Structure 1
Amino acid sequence: MGQAPKELTPTASPLHFFGAQLRELRETAGLSQAELGRVTLNSADLVRKIETAERAASRQFVDRCDEVLCGGGMLRRLWPLLERERELRSTIADQRDHGTLGPSARAEDRLVLDWLLAHNAGDVGPEPPQLDLATHAAERLMRFREVDHLQGAGRTYPEVADVVRRDLQKLSQTAPSVAIGYLELAGYEAVDLGADTQARGHYLRALEITTRTGNRLYGGYLIGVSLAHLALHGGDARHAIRLVNAGLRGVADCATPAVRAAIQVVAARAHARLGDERASAAALHQVDVDLDRSRPAEEPEWIGYFGPADLADEKAHCFFDLGLHDRAQDEAATAIGLLHPSRMRRLAIDSSLHATSLARSGDLDRACAVAHEAIDYTAGTTSFRSAHRVTMMLAELHPHATIPSVREVNDYARTVLADAPVSLADLPG
């Protein structure tokens, strides 16, 4: 008697979801693992390991299986997510094997420490008068941010990165706040394209400029929000907490309430990821207290984005990670209701979270209805992050694939999301 196939948890990671999809397509085609191995020029053992998420598939394997199994692009769409997962696992394994931080993490720690020890406490003084280059760059930066918020990073990252490559040195001298703004946006967009290493590089260059120019408050934001969110995005919640604490300590004498709240909410997310409901609730309470004290006229302009919709989004993620699905669904619905219809990336992410939470709590009819909306929003973006979220939403629905409403969602996703999610490797330059 043959050995029963190993059970998969599609929601555990993109590797598990890919394995489940591959097994389903292979069995539908009536092929054994050995037969699929022969037609793809691989061993049966490799097919088995990929199906059980023990090995990451190569691009060639993914393309060949999609073709042989008539996947209609289903497997190819998962390749960028598999590649990011492979890179994350490689980084974690390297740190475990060597018992130390990698070069990029050591550089991050050094620059954070440099910032903490800098004597120029307080906020930045007046900048030099902006030259024509800086004025033009500042105007373009505003437009880039608008497009990024609307549709995701794929539309603007090549141009943003080109400005950084070509003009950063001059901008850091004549208009350091503009230079920092470009680097922060480039980092945020790199995250949106699944390129965590590039994102960290952009953020650290921005931190160097804030340290040199004395822009203490923005330095704290970069550490406690940008870099901490990046750590959370990479699965290291404990490091995110360390970065939050460093950011808060460094701006203790100059932080405004809204900036403190934006940093504290990352702590709430990290504690929730670790399953610490009490610590997450305490951080969220402090966020609410700070926001009640905040006066827009007294806040820096760059923190103006952090409003009720963003707070509801962050709370929804906290409650989801804690398994408090009624509260997660309420906050996700609040965030979606407050967002402007043009904010497709944020709507895609929050709708995916909402649908995933509904599915996890057993409300499949509502989950499928919201899943349709998430798919539509994602189709309007060029955002790896949105595609990742909607993929994991589909993974949550995968165990119920025989239910007509779920089957219809899967068919709709295959039709509407025919192309693979955009990633940094797809973009020019």
Structure 2
Amino acid sequence: MGQIPKELEPTRSALHFFGAELRRLRQALRMSQADLGKLVFAHKDLIRKIEAAERMPTEELVSRCDDALAASGALRRLWPMLERERRLRLSRDTAGLATTFRSEATDRPVLDWLLASTHDARRQRGDDEVATAAAEKLDQLRGADHVYGAGHAYPAVAAVLDNDLDTLVARAPAVAAGFLELAGYEAVDLGADGRAQRHYLRALEVVTAAGDRLYGGYLIAVSLAHLALHCGDPAQAARLAAAALRGTEHQATPAVRAAFRAVLARAHARRGDEAACAAALLQVEADLARGKPEEEPAWIRYFGEADLADEKAHCFFDLGLHELAQREAAQAVTLLEPSRARRLAIDTALHAASLARARQIEHACAIGRQAVDHAAGVASFRSAHRIGLMMAELQPHSDLPEVRDLADYVHTRLPTVVTQQNR
């Protein structure tokens, strides 16, 4: 008697989603695990373990399975997400691994920032031609990142870091930190979490030395804490946001406090603490109501109603409050500038995923198609990853024609996932 297939949770992890898709494709062709094993030169027990999310496949095996099952790239597309999951698991099991995100790596730099002397860095000036030109280039690259994704913009940012960083640190530390923060943000967008953390920590080192307390708090509460959330550590994200709020108690402007508290709300939601999340979101709304954009640092003026709606949508999704999540995701998409293509892709896919969890499958697929259209226009691992999470929510309904049509649309419109190896 054959073994009863293990029940999978496609939304639990990329490995579970891959296992579910591998099983679905194999069964659709009426293949046994032994049949597939012979075609891909693997033992049937290895196929069973991969389908049960008990073993991580190699890239070569993923490619062979894709060919054997005539998946047209559907399995290959999941490899970058599997590889990222493998790195995150390895980092939890291997002390001192330098190539991926490690929560503990932030502890000492944050303590150094807390203990450092401070002043109001908004009075700093970088008036020489080098600083002015670099600041203009930074603004241009930020704009390109929003429109085209990190796959397009990161090489130019990396070139500045390789060639000009030391000069900028000496002559315009705020601009240097801006390039490093953008590089970190783009590394996240490429699936390179360890590299992102190193960029963010270098930026924190620069602003700590320059005495820029407020921007240091932003790097801790927004950049590093969001990265911790992205890597599955909401407890660390909450600690970082709380440390930044304490460390900038006398410097933070309303929009800065709002951005910090929004991340705190996200961390509470990820941990299932609905009351703490709601309290933090109320404080965010109160802070934004008090703010005056002209009195805010230039680097935080982006944070407004669209970004608040985005943060709320993620909070409500994590808490399982799907009507609220759908409302806020739709609001974020309505308020976002058309140029913010990656954010449009992510929020639209989140909306579709929430609809799928609420079993509104036809509506989820219609919104999901819009998310794919947004994602197709940007070179972004994060966008493709969010599309993958959306499809994982729909995977239990893969026998429905609208879900199959959406899967085919994803395969057509998103033939590859943009990523770079972590280094």
TM-score normalised by L of structure 1: 0.95
Specify the alignment match of 1:115 in structure 2: 113
Q: Which runs of 5+ in 2 are unaligned?
A: none
Aligned to 2:375, the other structure's residue is in SS state helix
Is residue 343 from structure 1 mapped to residue 346 from structure 2 by the alignment? Answer: no
Specify the alignment match of 1:75 in structure 2: 75
Rounded to whole Å, the distance in 1 between the matches of 2:255 and 2:292 is 8
Specify the alignment match of 1:84 in structure 2: 84
Is residue 372 from structure 1 mapped to residue 384 from structure 2 by the alignment? Answer: no
Q: Structure 1 counterpart of 2:117, which letter?
A: H
Is residue 150 from structure 1 mapped to residue 137 from structure 2 by the alignment? Answer: no
User: How far has the Cα of 1:165 moved from its partner?
Assistant: 1.4
Mapped contact 2:325–2:351 kept (Cα < 8 A)? yes
Rounded to whole Å, the distance in 1 between the matches of 2:319 and 2:57 is 31
Rounded to whole Å, the distance in 1 between the matches of 2:323 and 2:198 is 38
Task: Decide which moves more: 118-127 or 404-413.
Answer: 118-127
Mapped contact 1:80–1:423 kept (Cα < 8 A)? yes
Specify the alignment match of 2:53 in structure 1: 53
TM-score normalised by L of structure 2: 0.96
Q: Percent identity?
A: 58
Aligned to 2:121, the other structure's residue is in SS state coil
Aligned to 2:94, the other structure's residue is in SS state helix
Is residue 219 from structure 1 mapped to residue 223 from structure 2 by the alignment? Answer: no
Rounded to whole Å, the distance in 1 between the matches of 2:86 and 2:126 is 45
User: How far has the Cα of 1:190 moved from its partner?
Assistant: 0.5
Specify the alignment match of 2:350 in structure 1: 353
Which residue, out of 129, 133, 141, partners 2:130?
133
Is residue 260 from structure 1 mapped to residue 257 from structure 2 by the alignment? Answer: yes
Structure 2 vs 1, CA of residues 424 and 288 (structure 1 numbering), >3 Å: closer, same or farther?
same
Specify the alignment match of 2:277 in structure 1: 280
User: How far has the Cα of 1:91 moved from its partner?
Assistant: 1.6
Specify the alignment match of 2:401 in structure 1: 404
Aligned to 2:21, the other structure's residue is in SS state helix
Mapped contact 2:241–2:261 kept (Cα < 8 A)? yes
Specify the alignment match of 1:22 in structure 2: 22
Rounded to whole Å, the distance in 2 between the matches of 1:322 and 1:67 is 39
Runs of 4+ more than 6 Å apart: none
Q: Structure 2 counterpart of 1:273, which letter?
A: R
Is residue 209 from structure 1 mapped to residue 203 from structure 2 by the alignment? Answer: no
Mapped contact 1:66–1:75 kept (Cα < 8 A)? yes
Report how many aligned residue pairs link the two structures: 420
Structure 2 vs 1, CA of residues 291 and 197 (structure 1 numbering), >3 Å: closer, same or farther?
same
Rounded to whole Å, the distance in 2 between the matches of 1:173 and 1:86 is 39
Mapped contact 1:127–1:176 kept (Cα < 8 A)? no
Specify the alignment match of 1:4 in structure 2: 4
Aligned to 1:156, the other structure's residue is in SS state helix
Q: Structure 1 counterpart of 2:228, which letter?
A: A
Which residue, out of 410, 422, 425, partners 2:418?
422
Q: Which runs of 5+ in 1 are unaligned?
A: none
Rounded to whole Å, the distance in 1 between the matches of 2:291 and 2:101 is 39
Rounded to whole Å, the distance in 2 between the matches of 1:39 and 1:360 is 36
Mapped contact 2:91–2:102 kept (Cα < 8 A)? no
Mapped contact 1:401–1:407 kept (Cα < 8 A)? yes
Rounded to whole Å, the distance in 1 between the matches of 2:21 and 2:250 is 53
User: How far has the Cα of 1:381 moved from its partner?
Assistant: 1.0
Mapped contact 2:309–2:329 kept (Cα < 8 A)? yes
User: How far has the Cα of 1:31 moved from its partner?
Assistant: 2.2
Rounded to whole Å, the distance in 1 between the matches of 2:12 and 2:259 is 29
